[in-house]
Amino acid sequence: MKRTVITPRTLRGFADVMPSAGRRRRQLLEVLEEVYTSFGFEPIQTPAVEYAEILKGKGGTESDKQMFEFEDKGGRRVALRFDLTVPLARFVAQHESELTFPFRAYNIGYVWRGDRPQRGRYREFLQSDADIIGVSGITADAEILTIIATALGRMDIGPFTIRLNNRKILNGVLTRLELQDRVPPVLRALDKVDKIGPAAVADELAGAGVTAAAAQDLLALIGSVQASNEATLSHVGASVKGSAEGETGVAEVREVIELVSAALGAPAPIRFDPSIVRGLDYYTGMVFEAVHDEAPGAGSISGGGRYDDLASVYTTSRLPGVGVSIGVSRILSVLDGLGRLSDLPRDRTLVVLTQDLGSDRPELMRLAAAIRGAGPFDVELYPAAVKHATQMKYGDARGARFLLTLDADGTMSVKDMESGERASAAPAGVPALLSKLAGGA
């Protein structure tokens, strides 16, 4: 009789994390927490599920369409969070009286979006946000950018570039061209210039009711990325002449880059790119996204910007903010695509203790604990008294550095899997022996 089984599978867009990716993920998260903390950010957390009315209508119609929304058993309309920024706005508005401002917090968690999965794009993915709430100066903007540059640098994932822009630049120009009532379609059209080219963008702008002359102005503005930020800034500075808001935007970009470079003690890995727009409707000033230089087609590994009005739907207090979102799942996917997911060396030495039917198991347990306490060792006791060769192969497959076998006469034999050499010692001397062997190599 054949037993029928349920085919093991995951939902479209929902992925398992395998051990190789899991180790990398852990390392990325360690770097993030360390960097956030070193900038004074506090860890917070918000729920995965919120009232739908809290989440909907904040990030634009596209976000609403992609939101997982359902009814709970009590008949409430609820939704899975689409990002971590909108829940943060709710959090800050709700706990305003208990927080110290300017409030700096980070939040690491999964978010859910119902769009079609592709490489590096999932329906459930891990994101890590850091935000400063309560001030509108560009010092905060610069600090956020410094955090990204620092974190991405320490993650050791390869070269990256932060593409930076400021919404005030385009807003200013659009106002001068009397297009302020058509901002979203115009921004959408301009955002496509890399993909479809200036001519097609001009067509789309014409379709949005933009005159040919205005379209040329806009294309000149966004097509002005130069070899250096300074060159781009002066180029764009010329096109925004006459618009106070646009001039402010250019000045902010210039100053922010200067501040980040000062913080890093080196030129910031930032490229001023006036074509960066970003879809989320709530951004009001600085906007940016980071791409991995070796996988620019994989999409952004980080993004964010300034949003000065986000919390206004939950409170009458003015709570401007600026934040970054780092795509942990996306970074893992990029590393996987580059074949560098599992090249992370073990940060501690793995030791495997073997056993057989006659082993003194209390002695083995004591010894495992002693080795763990003796230094940077991860120690596992093979959990069954199977054939010794099997346990050796297991240790090898696991990448263990040392295989330990308790001999019948009570001495411990130590095999160094790297050199192939064997040594022995009394159990009490094993921790010291391992430290010596591991250190000497």
Partner RNA sequence: GUGGGCGUAGCUCAGCUGGUUAGAGCGCCAGGUUGUGGUCCUGGAUGUCGGGGGUUCGAAUCCCCUCGCUCACCCCA
Q: Which residues contribute to the site for RNA (CB under 7 A)?
A: 11-12, 60, 62-63, 66, 83, 113, 115-122, 125, 127, 188, 191-192, 195-196, 278-280, 289-290, 297, 299-304, 325-327, 329-330, 356, 358-359, 387-389, 392-393, 396-397, 403, 405-408, 413, 415, 417-420, 422
In this structure, what are the phi and psi dihedrals at residue 139, rounded to the nearest 5 degrees? Answer: -60, -40
Among residues 212, 158, 210, the alpha carbon closest in space to that of 183 is found at: 210
- The strand ranges marked E within 82-135 are 103-112, 124-133
Nearest approach in angstroms of CB 317 to RNA is 25
DSSP H or E stretch at residue 21: helix 19-38
- When the beta carbons of 199 and 408 are compared against RNA, the nearer one is 408
- When the beta carbons of 239 and 302 are compared against RNA, the nearer one is 302
- When the beta carbons of 219 and 233 are compared against RNA, the nearer one is 219
- When the beta carbons of 199 and 397 are compared against RNA, the nearer one is 397
The single residue listed with the structure tokens 């496509």 is 192
Nearest approach in angstroms of CB 195 to RNA is 5
3-state helix, strand, coil in the chain (%, to 5): 45, 20, 35
The single residue listed with the structure tokens 């130590």 is 414
- The strand ranges marked E within 48-117 are 49-51, 69-71, 77-80, 103-112
- When the beta carbons of 74 and 440 are compared against RNA, the nearer one is 440
- When the beta carbons of 60 and 207 are compared against RNA, the nearer one is 60
Cβ atoms of residues 313 and 51 within 8 Å: no
Nearest approach in angstroms of CB 112 to RNA is 9
**For 392, what's the count of Cα atoms within 13 Å in the CB-facing half-sphere?**
10
The single residue listed with the structure tokens 């806009």 is 218
Q: Is the dihedral of CA 19, 20, 25, 27 positive or negative?
A: positive
DSSP H or E stretch at residue 258: helix 244-264
Nearest approach in angstroms of CB 126 to RNA is 8
Nearest approach in angstroms of CB 361 to RNA is 13
In angstroms, the Cα distances linking 178 to 175, 181, 186, 193, 300 are 5, 8, 12, 22, 32
Nearest approach in angstroms of CB 198 to RNA is 14
Query: CA-to-CA distance for 244 and 408, rounded, in angstroms?
Result: 86
Nearest approach in angstroms of CB 303 to RNA is 3
Nearest approach in angstroms of CB 415 to RNA is 4
Query: CA-to-CA distance for 73 and 171, rounded, in angstroms?
Result: 45
Query: CA-to-CA distance for 412 and 281, rounded, in angstroms?
Result: 66
Nearest approach in angstroms of CB 237 to RNA is 26
What order of strands is seen across the sheet that includes strand 49-51? Answer: 49-51, 77-80, 69-71
- When the beta carbons of 233 and 403 are compared against RNA, the nearer one is 403
Nearest approach in angstroms of CB 371 to RNA is 16
Q: Which two tokens stand for residue 1?
A: 């009789």
- When the beta carbons of 146 and 243 are compared against RNA, the nearer one is 146
Query: CA-to-CA distance for 195 and 35, rounded, in angstroms?
Result: 35
- When the beta carbons of 99 and 425 are compared against RNA, the nearer one is 425
- When the beta carbons of 383 and 420 are compared against RNA, the nearer one is 420
